[in-house]
Amino acid sequence: MIDPIDRQTVLDALDELCDVVCAYSKKQRAEMCGACLLGSAFDVIEALPPAEQDWIPCSKQMPVEGVAVWVTIAGHDLIIRKDGETIEDAIDRISKTRWVTQGFFGSDGWYGVDGYPMMVRPIAWMPLEKPKAYEGEV
């Protein structure tokens, strides 16, 4: 059974995934990443209060069919070897990497928000709720 994932673990995994898929430096990503789905994931997860950061393991409960949710996936279908790493080491490292995206559960499996079937099955999910608006002084 997979334990729920804490917020920092998810943010670290998103940062590692950005290193693989994004051409921007870390400084540029801080300024530019809001334009992509990964940037949106950072923003939403960082904005969630602690009580709303609980991931629901797919082994315990599945979301309502057809409703978009945040999903955590272990591994991905892209294998990139680091210097000096064997293909087996790369597969082992990647299978332990967790990252976040959006998707929905359908009658015959998981789909990305683009409607295509997911290649790697999610291990946990959380509702795709809009963060509560700022209520402090302006």
Nearest to 6 by CA among 59, 35, 61, 46: 46
In a domain, 89, yes or no: yes
**Domain extent at residue 63:** 7-127
In a domain, 23, yes or no: yes
Tell me the pLDDT tens digit for each residue of 51-72. Answer: 445 789 999 999 999 999 999 9
pLDDT at 1: 37
In a domain, 59, yes or no: yes
Nearest to 125 by CA among 105, 109, 96, 97: 105
pLDDT over threshold 80, residue 11: no
In a domain, 123, yes or no: yes
Tell me the pLDDT tens digit for each residue of 104-123. Answer: 999 899 998 888 998 888 99
Contact 58, 125 (CB under 8 A): yes
Domain count, the chain: 1
In a domain, 25, yes or no: yes
In a domain, 114, yes or no: yes
pLDDT at 20: 64
pLDDT at 64: 92
In a domain, 138, yes or no: no
pLDDT at 30: 56
In a domain, 73, yes or no: yes
Instruction: Please give the Cα distance from 33 to 22 (Å, whole number).
Output: 9
Identity of the amino acid at 93: R
Higher pLDDT residue, 2 or 94? 94
Length of the chain: 138
